[in-house]
Structure 1
Amino acid sequence: MLIAKEKRKTNIAEYILYIWQLEDLFRALDFDMEKIGSTLVSQFKVDENTRLDIYQYYKNMVLMMEKEQVKQSGHIQAIVNLTSDLNDFHLNLLKSTADPAYRSLYQIAKPLLDEFRLKSNDVNADDVQVALQSLYGLILLKLQQKPISPGTEQATAHISKLMAHLAARYKQFEEGDFEL
């Protein structure tokens, strides 16, 4: 909860990736709140009230995942909607003249996104979904300590720059400090 709240305020892309990671951790722990408490919640060095808040946040996420039937795969609807909103912002930013640097970053990342889209066999995935999936895949490879090819490392570095810029602009837009 603490990490999620902070990431939501500061970087929307990191927030989405963090929630995806929580969803996968809950799946790995069989949605067992006792395991979630002992494995995840116990790792936080916080006071007991904060620990209970984190536990409740995780419990609510587990209940949402069960209710929305995304226990095996997929993401909670709130995150799907947020990803869609971020993609809409991405598309509007590309149409706008307000940020030419973003368009330049996108031109570098576009062929990489297209390649990831083809490899994922999800030709209907939008740019933001593909970008986030590629970054999440890299996170998983690193967590599993699997080798990462230089090409993958370089491609995800470009995509990461694009997403960092997009997230920063989105934050500015939400705070009223940027107009399209």
Structure 2
Amino acid sequence: MGELNDGGVVLVLFLMVAAIAYALFTAVSFYAESTPSTSTSLLRLLSGWANVGNSVTHVLLIVYTLANGNNNSEYWIEERKLGGIEGPVFLAILNLAAGISSLLYNSMLFPLGWNSFVIAAGTFLPVVWPRFLAEGIATWPYTIIFVWFLIFAFELTAFTCSVTHFALSAKGAKKNM
């Protein structure tokens, strides 16, 4: 294991993600309040934009990974052993599809399924969040930690908003029966 990261810097990166998330959520909330909407439209918008944000973040991760193709630091050597950019490309495409489904087609079925899968898989697959918690925070490059915090914020937002949207929609459907 390489040199340990400064906990203060990691905390600042986390707070930067929190500030970005707050700004994004405030902007979407302001938009939702300024347009005629149903009670679940804010949740649909937040879920959709979180999926789009997650897609963009994965694209940035792909670009950063390709830019470090010749980097021989311990982190990049280990990353190359795990594979190439196929995983992040797949995640970027499916997150974008979930975001578009939510934002343009008012359909939350695919986003709900996708976001639920992402939360479950990320929690239980050893190379995802368990790896980040075990070694990432302590030893990975700060840029990568920042990207992973962004991914966490987007995944959590997309999941909680799509599940809440489903719960409220199901409640409304039962009420109208």
Please confirm whether the aligned pair reaches a TM-score higher than 0.5, indicating the same fold.
Answer: no
Query: As a proportion of its length, which structure holds more helix?
Result: 2
Normalised by the length of structure 2, the TM-score is: 0.33
Normalised by the length of structure 1, the TM-score is: 0.33
The structure with higher relative contact order (CA 8 Å, sep 6+) is 2
